[in-house]
C-alpha cells in the first residue's frame, strides 16, 4: 500500500511511514494511491464469513504486501476481538451496535487496530526503545486509546485530561488500567492539555530521550478498521435476505462515515449514506449550498460530534474528486438540535425500549427523516457509536435507572485510580516525563 497527501498527489509514502507520521508535512491527509475493489465473489459470499474473516480480507485488500498475510491475520484477530451486532427493530429499521469493545465506543476499532499495527511496524532497532504515545483528550478518544494500547508490548501511553471535565466512566477508563497506561489530570482546560502535548512533540530533549508518537484520530490505521463493520453489517443483513441498505452515521470529524464511503468505493453495495450531525452542521450546509464554511464548534449533548471543521472531510472530497455529483447523490446530510436529540432518546425508549446515547439518537432521526422523503423497501441501519452509560447526565432520572452497566465498567470500578495532578506549566510536565 502506498499513500499520497491530499495536498500533493505526487507524494508517495509507505504504509509504515503514514502510520508513524499520522499527517504529511504539508498538512494534507494521507490517502491510498489506489482504492482496490473486493472481488464480486467475496461480496456475494459475505454472509458466510465472520467479522474477523471479513476484517482480514478487507485489510489485506487495502494494505496489500505492506504486511504479510499470516501476520495481518493475527493482528486483525487480536484487534477485533469483540462483535458488532445489528439489532433489528422491525422490517425497515435496525441499529448497528459499535459499542461492544473495551471503551464502549466505536473508536475501539481504530485504536485497537492502530496500536497493534504500530507495535508490529516498529523496526528491530526501534523496538529496543518504548513507543511513547502522548494524548490529550476531552473524553471519548482518550479512553479508546488507553484501552487500545493496554498491554501492547513495546508501547506506553500518557494521557492528559482536564480535571473535572470528563464523565466518571470516562475518567475510570483513563485512570484505572495500570500496566502501560499513565494518566495525568491537568488543572486546566482541554486546550491546555493539547498545548502541553504539542510542546512535548516539539521539545528536542524529550525527542532525544523518548520515541514519541501521537495517536492522532486522522491516522490511516484508524480509518481502515472502520470499514470492517460496514461490510459485516451487510453480511448480517444478507443472512436475512436484505441487501438494500441505507446507513445513517452520527458524524463529527467524519472518520466513521468516511470509512463507510471507502467501503462503498471498494465495492460494498449501499443505497445511501446519511450524515447525521448536531448543530455543528458545516457538512449539511455544504451539501445544500455548495460552499464549505467551517465555523467555531458549539457545545451540545452529543459532544463527541462538536466539530466545526471536520478533519476527515477532505478525505471524502478526495475519494469523490473525479465524481462530485456521485458524492452529492450518495450522501444526504441532516442536522439536529439538543431538544430534538432528547425527544429522539425518549421516542426510541418508548417505542422500542432502546436506550440510545445522544450521538446514536441523532443517527436515528436522520434515518427517520430519509424514510419520510424516500419511498422504497430498503432497510435503514443507524450506527450506535457509544454505550449510553458513558453519557449519564443526558438522561432523565427514570431513563438513567434503565441503563444497564456493562461488565467492562464493573471490572474497572474494582481497580484503584492512578493519576497524577499537574498544572499547565510545561517545565513541570517535562520533568514528570523525564523522571519516569
Ligand atoms: C468520535 C465519535 C463520534 C464521531 O465520529 P467521527 O468519526 O468523528 O465522525 C460519534 N459518536 C461518538 C460516541 C464518538 O465517540
Residue 248 DSSP label: E
Per DSSP, the three-state class of 159 is strand
Residue 25 to residues 8, 11, 147, 217, Cα–Cα distance (Å) = 10, 11, 29, 16
Taking the C-alpha atoms of residue 239 and residue 262, their distance in angstroms, rounded to an integer, is 23
Question: What is the structure's pLDDT at 344?
Answer: 98
Q: Which residue has the cell 511496524?
A: 121
CA of 211 to the centre of ligand 1 (A): 28
In angstroms and rounded to an integer, the radius of gyration of the C-alpha atoms of the chain is 21
Residue 214 neighbours by CB distance under 10 Å:
20
Per-residue pLDDT of the chain (436 residues; tens, 9 = 90+): 999 999 999 999 999 999 998 999 998 999 999 999 999 999 999 999 999 999 999 999 999 999 999 999 999 999 999 999 999 999 999 999 999 999 999 999 999 999 999 999 987 777 788 999 999 988 778 899 999 999 999 999 999 999 988 888 889 999 999 999 999 999 998 889 989 999 999 999 999 999 999 888 899 999 999 999 999 999 999 999 999 999 999 999 999 999 999 999 999 999 999 999 999 999 999 999 999 999 988 999 999 999 999 999 999 999 999 999 999 999 999 999 999 999 999 999 999 999 999 999 999 999 999 999 999 999 999 999 999 999 989 999 999 999 999 998 988 889 999 999 999 999 999 999 999 8
CATH 3.40.50.1100 fits 55-106+222-400, yes or no: yes
In the block, cell 462503498 appears at 264
Expressed in angstroms and rounded, the spacing between residue 106 Cα and the centre of ligand 1 is 7
The closest alpha carbon to 99, from 357, 361, 343, belongs to 357
Question: Which residues approach ligand 1 with their CB closer than 6 A?
Answer: 105, 107, 140, 250-256, 304-305, 359, 385-386
pTM listed for this prediction: 0.95
Nearest atom within ligand 1 for CA of residue 255: 7
Of all protein residues, the one whose alpha carbon is nearest to atom 8 of ligand 1 is 253
Strand order through the sheet with 155-162: 211-214, 131-136, 155-162, 181-186, 420-422
Q: What's the gap in Å between 405 CA and the centre of ligand 1?
A: 21
3-state secondary structure of 379: strand
Please identify, by atom number, the ligand 1 atom nearest to the C-alpha of residue 140. 15
- All cell numbers assigned to 311: 478533519
Per residue in 360-381, pLDDT (tens digit) is 999 999 999 999 999 999 999 9
* pLDDT tens-digit readout, 146-203: 999 999 999 999 999 999 888 888 899 999 999 999 999 999 988 899 899 999 999 9
Q: How far is the CA of 195 from the centre of ligand 1 (A)?
A: 22
Q: Mutual orientation of helices 107-121 and 69-79 as an angle, nearest 10°? A: 140
Q: Which of 137, 146, 169, 252 to mutate to test the pocket of ligand 1 (most atoms within 8 A of CB)?
A: 252
- What is the DSSP secondary structure assignment for residue 65, as one 8-state letter? G
Q: How remote is the CA of residue 125 from the centroid of ligand 1, in Å?
A: 36
Amino acid at each position: 500500500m502506498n499513500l499520497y497527501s491530499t495536498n500533493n498527489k505526487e507524494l508517495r509514502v509507505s504504509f509504515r511511514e503514514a502510520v508513524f507520521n499520522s499527517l504529511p508535512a504539508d498538512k494534507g491527509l494521507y490517502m491510498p494511491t489506489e482504492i482496490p475493489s473486493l472481488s464480486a465473489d467475496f461480496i456475494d459470499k459475505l454472509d458466510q464469513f465472520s467479522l474477523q474473516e471479513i476484517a482480514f480480507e478487507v485489510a489485506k485488500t487495502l494494505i496489500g504486501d505492506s504486511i504479510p498475510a499470516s501476520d495481518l491475520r493475527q493482528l486483525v484477530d487480536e484487534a477485533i476481538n469483540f462483535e458488532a451486532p445489528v439489532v433489528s427493530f422491525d422490517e425497515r429499521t435496525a441499529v448497528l451496535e459499535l459499542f461492544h469493545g473495551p471503551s464502549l465506543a466505536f473508536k475501539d476499532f481504530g485504536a485497537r487496530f492502530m496500536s497493534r499495527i504500530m507495535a508490529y511496524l516498529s523496526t528491530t532497532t526501534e523496538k529496543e526503545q518504548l513507543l511513547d504515545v502522548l494524548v490529550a483528550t476531552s473524553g471519548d478518544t482518550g479512553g479508546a486509546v488507553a484501552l487500545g494500547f493496554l498491554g501492547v508490548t513495546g508501547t506506553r501511553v500518557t494521557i492528559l485530561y482536564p480535571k473535572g471535565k470528563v464523565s466518571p466512566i470516562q475518567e475510570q477508563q483513563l485512570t484505572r488500567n495500570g500496566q502501560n497506561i499513565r494518566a495525568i489530570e491537568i488543572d486546566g482546560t482541554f486546550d491546555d492539555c493539547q498545548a502541553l502535548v504539542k510542546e512535548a512533540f516539539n521539545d528536542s530533549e524529550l525527542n532525544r530521550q523518548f520515541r514519541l508518537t501521537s495517536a492522532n484520530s486522522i491516522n490511516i490505521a484508524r480509518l481502515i478498521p472502520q470499514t470492517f463493520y460496514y461490510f459485516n453489517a451487510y453480511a448480517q443483513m444478507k443472512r436475512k435476505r436484505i441487501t438494500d441498505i441505507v446507513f445513517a452515521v452520527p458524524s463529527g470529524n467524519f472518520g466513521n462515515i468516511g470509512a463507510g464511503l471507502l467501503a462503498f468505493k471498494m465495492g460494498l453495495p449501499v443505497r445511501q449514506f446519511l450524515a447525521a450531525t448536531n448543530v455543528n452542521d458545516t457538512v449539511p450546509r455544504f451539501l445544500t449550498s455548495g460552499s464549505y464554511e467551517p465555523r467555531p464548534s458549539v457545545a451540545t449533548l452529543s459532544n463527541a460530534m462538536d466539530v466545526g471543521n471536520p478533519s476527515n472531510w477532505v478525505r471524502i472530497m478526495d475519494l469523490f474528486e473525479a465524481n462530485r455529483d456521485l458524492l452529492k447523490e450518495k450522501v444526504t446530510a441532516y442536522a439536529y438540535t439538543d431538544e430534538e436529540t432528547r425527544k429522539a432518546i425518549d421516542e426510541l425508549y418508548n417505542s422500542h425500549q432502546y436506550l440510545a446515547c445522544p450521538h446514536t439518537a441523532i443517527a436515528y432521526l436522520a434515518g427517520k427523516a430519509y424514510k419520510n422523503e424516500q419511498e422504497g423497501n430498503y432497510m435503514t441501519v443507524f450506527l450506535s457509536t457509544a454505550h449510553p452509560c458513558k453519557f449519564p447526565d443526558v438522561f432523565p432520572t427514570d431513563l438513567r435507572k434503565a441503563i444497564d452497566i456493562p461488565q467492562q465498567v464493573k471490572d474497572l470500578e474494582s481497580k484503584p485510580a492512578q493519576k497524577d495532578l499537574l498544572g499547565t506549566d510545561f517545565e513541570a510536565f517535562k520533568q514528570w516525563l523525564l523522571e519516569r
